[in-house]
């Protein structure tokens, strides 16, 4: 009986060792799988953290750029308001000057011009030309100067444009 008992004990030991080895193999595989998951998850975490840092840096850069553009826009808006005020002031001054020119012309120049021409004719002299002729000549010269300046600017712009294409 002792041999049967010994053989049962050996079988039990072998079964126990087999179960123990199977448990060890199973737990070791679970550990290997867990380790692989932990490593890949840690790697993903590092990638996500790097992406988060890059995204945050890009966000900061864009916010600085937006702030700069907003400041530029505010500056442009202030400039436009100033220009509108100057434009309004110049328009009023121009209207006032135009009224003054017309008043001087009608109330002072025309009567004096007529009187001088009458005296000149009485003394056998030719009449003086009307100021309108001088104003028209002056306006023609001003327009010609503007046209020349514009053509010069156009020529310079074309030269710059051609240089930038090269």
What whole-number distance in Å separates Cα of residue 115 and Cα of residue 131?
Answer: 14
Q: Which residue in the block uniquely carries the two structure tokens 């051609």?
A: 162
From CA 129, how far away is CA 113, in angstroms rounded? 9
Asked whether the beta carbons of 137 and 145 are under 8 A apart, the reply is no
| Strands, E assignment, the chain | none
Q: What is the pLDDT of residues 39-74, one digit of tens each?
A: 999 999 999 999 999 999 999 999 999 999 999 999
What are the extents of the domains in the chain? 2-128, 130-166
CA distance 142 to 154: 18
What share of the chain has pLDDT > 90, as a percent? Answer: 75
R_g (Cα) of the chain, nearest Å: 50
In which band, very low, low, confident or very high, does the pLDDT at 88 lie, cut at 50, 70 and 90?
very high
> Contact at 8 Å (CB) between 126 and 120?
yes
- Alpha carbon distance 92, 88 (integer Å): 6
Maximum Cα–Cα distance for the chain, whole Å? Answer: 172
Q: What is the pLDDT of residues 89-146, one digit of tens each?
A: 999 999 999 999 999 999 999 999 999 999 999 999 999 988 888 889 999 999 999 9
Joined tokens for residue 87: 């434009």
């Amino acid at each position: 009986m002792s041999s049967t008992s010994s053989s049962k004990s050996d079988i039990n030991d072998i079964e126990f060792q087999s179960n123990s080895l199977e448990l060890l193999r199973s737990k070791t595989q679970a550990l290997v799988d867990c380790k692989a998951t932990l490593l890949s998850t840690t790697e993903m975490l590092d990638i996500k953290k790097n992406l988060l840092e890059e995204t945050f840096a890009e966000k900061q850069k864009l916010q600085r750029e937006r702030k700069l553009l907003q400041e530029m826009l505010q500056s442009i808006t202030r400039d436009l308001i100033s220009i509108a005020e100057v434009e309004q002031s110049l328009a009023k001054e121009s209207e006032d000057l135009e009224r003054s020119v017309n008043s001087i012309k009608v109330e002072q120049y025309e009567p004096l011009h007529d009187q001088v021409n009458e005296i000149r004719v009485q003394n056998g002299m030719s009449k003086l030309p009307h100021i309108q002729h001088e104003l028209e000549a002056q306006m023609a010269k001003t327009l010609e100067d503007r046209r020349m300046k514009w053509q010069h600017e156009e020529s310079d712009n074309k030269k710059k444009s051609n240089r930038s294409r090269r």
